């Protein structure tokens, strides 16, 4: 973290000998979404789709808490990572996450002033649609499982969303942590 | 309340182009995703190399998590055990008393079984395992049921090999990476296993239902002969799964079969064994074909059931059993017993 620190992130005043690392500040959102994609697969070898789509929740959270930090096209690389681990047919998350980013942009332009309840409601609609569409894609790709199996997962994801938003707020503070600068 | 983002780019050409290209890239992402999706749905094996590579990269993380998972399960059981140890202890003592008697009976049956098998020239059906591995991850969010194991091409794992735990079958290898492999679990709706009822050999198919249970579909229509508690084993017909591998126990009846619980729950079996795919044609456990009349290639027996129906073979078998007890002509050497 000693190399590239010529330009501190926007809105951060550089103090003498200490400044946030631009690399950390910009990488944390991307990495946290990618880790979110990987994380639900690890804690239990699940007999049914029970874990909430944490990667998608992280993407929603970053987009709503810090609009503009993740670009509109972030769905392509982040969805690609999610597709590698999710078990869905390849391209499922790339498509749905890209559309999500565009949709959130439209919603933001339409309702510029929002409180967290509105954010949560928007996220709930997004999560429900996303989970239903992943189920639909899995059915098209050859699964015959009843789509009702996904209802507990969707409810868990909606309930979990404020917690994820809190974690993202914490990460957002930590990503601007000042590091020591030489010279 | 989050302030609205300043969406105006002003007079800066650079900023205007930047925003515009961002939106173009966003739409392009959706289009590219759709294109990937169509090609992945039309050909299920496409992009498997990407998934395998990703599995290889994250295998160490999964292996670490696998140890943690086992530790957490043990800790929870230890705590829960304090609440129930009294009744549990009494019940276990009763069970041990019965089990000792049964163990003595079983020893007798096992000896008799060995003797009869030796008489028939049948070898034991325990294949030499290809690899032992850990279950390191599973697709916990998707309707599809895949798991990742910590063994791949480097250990000799190939696509199609059955994967089992000590309790029974959990699935078969679908995609192979260098140090990891993706397993199609029994509970996936794409998984179909030919099974037979343990007591009488009633043939059926076990298909996954996606929620941790299996649907047992009987091959014969008519009166449903199944009961709750019936155990099903792999029948081995069609190859791949070794005959006799425990699969599931019936928990509820349906009009054309039953719903069964998988015996080897992947959630509490961390260590798995990858077996070679069973090939009934080259199986050393079957009696050799009659040497004088070479069977035409089209009528080559694919399964034990078909084979037993051939009169020539039955007479051969009976001849061997009722004969002088000499070992049969050319059975392959019995593989070593691997429990």
Which pLDDT does position B60 carry in this prediction?
84
B70 touches chain A (CB under 8 A): no
Say if CB A103 and CB B30 are below 8 A apart.
Answer: no
Q: Among all residues of chain B, which has the CA nearest to that of A75? A: B29
Which pLDDT does position B281 carry in this prediction?
61
B43 touches chain A (CB under 8 A): no
Reported confidence tier of residue B26, pLDDT bands at 50, 70, 90: very high
**Parallel, antiparallel, or unpaired for β B213-218 and B203-208?**
antiparallel
Taking contacts as CB-CB distances below 8 angstroms, the residues of chain B near A60 are: none
Which pLDDT does position A61 carry in this prediction?
95
Query: What pLDDT digit, counting tens, does each position of B284-328 carry?
Result: 555 555 555 555 555 444 444 444 444 444 444 444 444 444 444
ipTM passes above 0.85: no
Min Cα separation B256/chain A (Å): 18
For chain A, the distance separating the N- and C-terminal CA atoms, rounded to the nearest angstrom, is 14
C-alpha span between B5 and B186 (Å, rounded):
49
Reported confidence tier of residue A76, pLDDT bands at 50, 70, 90: very high
Q: Give the closest of A84, A99, A105 to B51, CB-based.
A: A84
Interface test with A, best of B1, B8, B33, B45 (most A CBs within 10 A): B33
Q: Which residues of B79-115 are buried (b: 16+ CB within 10 A; e: fewer)?
A: eeeeeeeeeeeeeeeeeeeeeeeeeeeeeeeeeeeee
DSSP 3-state percent helix, strand, coil across chain B (nearest 5) = 40, 20, 40
- What are the C-alpha distances in Å from A93 to residues A15, A77, B30, B277? 41, 10, 9, 34
Nearest alpha-carbon partner for A40 in B268, B142, B149: B142
C-alpha span between B197 and B201 (Å, rounded):
5
Reported confidence tier of residue A62, pLDDT bands at 50, 70, 90: very high
Q: Give the closest of A47, A76, A134 to B265, CB-based.
A: A47
Q: Kindly state the tokens that stand for A94.
A: 């790339």
Q: What is the mean pLDDT of residues A37-60?
A: 87
Average pLDDT value over all residues in chain B: 78
Which pLDDT does position B109 carry in this prediction?
86
Say if CB A45 and CB A149 are below 8 A apart.
Answer: no
Contact yes or no for B2 and A102 at CB 8 A? no
C-alpha span between B175 and B195 (Å, rounded):
24
The neighbouring-strand residues paired with B252 are: B259
Distance of CA A51 to the CA centre of its chain: 15
Evaluate whether residue A94 is within a structural domain: yes
Say if CB A176 and CB A12 are below 8 A apart.
Answer: yes
Show the domain range for A147.
33-42+56-175
The neighbouring-strand residues paired with B203 are: B196
Say if CB B161 and CB B130 are below 8 A apart.
Answer: yes
Which pLDDT does position A82 carry in this prediction?
93
Instruction: Name the residue with higher pLDDT: B192 or B78.
Output: B192
Question: Phi and psi for B279 in degrees, rounded to 5?
Answer: -115, 105
Average pLDDT value over all residues in chain A: 87
Q: How many domains does chain A have?
A: 1
Query: What pLDDT digit, counting tens, does each position of B52-102 carry?
Result: 888 888 888 888 877 777 677 677 777 888 888 888 889 999 999 888 888
Evaluate whether residue A21 is within a structural domain: no
Evaluate whether residue A77 is within a structural domain: yes
B140 touches chain A (CB under 8 A): yes
Contact yes or no for A98 and B26 at CB 8 A? yes
Evaluate whether residue A63 is within a structural domain: yes
Specify which of A61-75, B110-124, B261-275 reaches the highest per-range mean pLDDT.
A61-75
Q: What is the mean pLDDT of residues B237-250?
A: 86
Lowest mean pLDDT among A31-35, B67-71, B178-182: B67-71
Neighbours of B172 (CB within 10 A): 22
Taking contacts as CB-CB distances below 8 angstroms, the residues of chain A near B266 are: 45, 47
Residue B282 has pLDDT above 70, yes or no: no
**pTM here?**
0.74
Evaluate whether residue A38 is within a structural domain: yes
Evaluate whether residue A12 is within a structural domain: no
Residue A15 has pLDDT above 60, yes or no: yes
B224 touches chain A (CB under 8 A): no
Evaluate whether residue A156 is within a structural domain: yes
C-alpha span between A154 and A51 (Å, rounded):
9
Q: Among all residues of chain B, which has the CA nearest to that of A102? A: B26
Neighbours of A10 (CB within 10 A): 7
For chain B, the distance separating the N- and C-terminal CA atoms, rounded to the nearest angstrom, is 64
Taking contacts as CB-CB distances below 8 angstroms, the residues of chain B near A45 are: 69, 135, 137-138, 147, 266-267
Nearest alpha-carbon partner for B50 in A36, A91, A63: A91
Evaluate whether residue A24 is within a structural domain: no
A:B CB pairs within 8 Å = 209
What is the maximal distance between C-alpha atoms in chain A?
63
């Amino acid at each position: 973290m000693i190399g590239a620190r010529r330009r501190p992130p926007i809105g951060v005043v550089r103090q003498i000998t200490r400044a946030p690392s631009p690399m950390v500040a910009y990488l944390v959102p991307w990495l946290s979404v990618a880790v979110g994609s990987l994380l639900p697969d690890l804690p239990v070898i699940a007999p049914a789709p029970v874990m909430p789509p944490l990667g998608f929740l992280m993407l929603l959270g970053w987009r709503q808490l810090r609009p503009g930090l993740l670009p509109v096209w972030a769905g392509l690389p982040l969805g690609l990572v999610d597709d590698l681990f999710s078990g869905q047919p390849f391209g499922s998350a790339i498509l749905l996450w890209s559309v999500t980013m565009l949709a959130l942009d439209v919603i933001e332009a339409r309702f510029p002033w929002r409180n967290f309840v509105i954010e949560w409601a928007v996220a709930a609609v997004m999560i429900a649609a996303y989970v239903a569409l992943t189920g639909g894609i899995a059915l098209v790709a050859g699964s015959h499982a009843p789509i009702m199996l996904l209802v507990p997962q969707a409810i868990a994801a909606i309930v979990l969303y404020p917690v994820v938003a809190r974690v993202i707020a914490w990460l957002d503070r930590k990503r601007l942590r000042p590091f020591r600068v030489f010279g | 309340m989050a302030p609205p983002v300043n969406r105006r780019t002003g007079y800066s050409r650079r900023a205007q182009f930047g925003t515009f290209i961002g939106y173009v890239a966003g739409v392009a992402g959706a289009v590219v995703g759709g294109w990937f999706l169509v090609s992945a749905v039309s050909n299920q094996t496409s992009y498997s190399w990407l998934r395998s590579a990703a599995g290889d990269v994250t295998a160490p993380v999964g292996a670490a998590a696998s140890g943690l998972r086992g530790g957490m399960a043990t800790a929870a059981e230890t705590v829960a055990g304090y609440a129930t140890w009294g009744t549990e202890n009494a019940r276990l003592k009763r069970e041990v008393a019965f089990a000792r008697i049964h163990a003595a009976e079983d020893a007798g049956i096992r000896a008799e079984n060995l003797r009869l098998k030796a008489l028939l020239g049948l070898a034991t059906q325990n294949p030499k395992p290809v690899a032992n591995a850990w279950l390191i991850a599973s697709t916990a969010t998707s309707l599809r049921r895949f798991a990742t194991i910590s063994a791949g091409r480097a250990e000799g794992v190939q696509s199609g090999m059955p994967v089992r735990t000590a309790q029974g079958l959990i699935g078969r290898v679908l995609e192979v990476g260098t140090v990891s492999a993706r397993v199609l679990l029994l509970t996936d709706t794409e998984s179909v296993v030919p099974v037979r009822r343990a007591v009488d050999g009633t043939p059926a198919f076990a298909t996954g239902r996606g929620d941790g249970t299996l649907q047992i579909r009987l091959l014969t229509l008519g009166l449903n002969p199944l009961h709750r508690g019936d155990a099903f084993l792999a029948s081995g017909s069609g190859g791949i799964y070794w005959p006799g591998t425990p699969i599931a126990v019936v928990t509820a009846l349906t009009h054309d079969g039953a719903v069964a619980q998988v015996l080897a729950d992947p959630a509490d079996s961390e260590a798995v064994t990858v077996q070679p795919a069973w090939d009934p044609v080259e199986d050393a456990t079957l009696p050799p074909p009659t040497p004088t009349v070479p069977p035409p290639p089209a009528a080559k027996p694919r399964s034990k059931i078909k084979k037993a129906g051939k009169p020539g073979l039955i007479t051969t078998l009976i001849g061997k059993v009722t004969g002088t007890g000499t070992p049969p002509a050319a059975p392959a050497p019995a593989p070593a017993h691997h429990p």
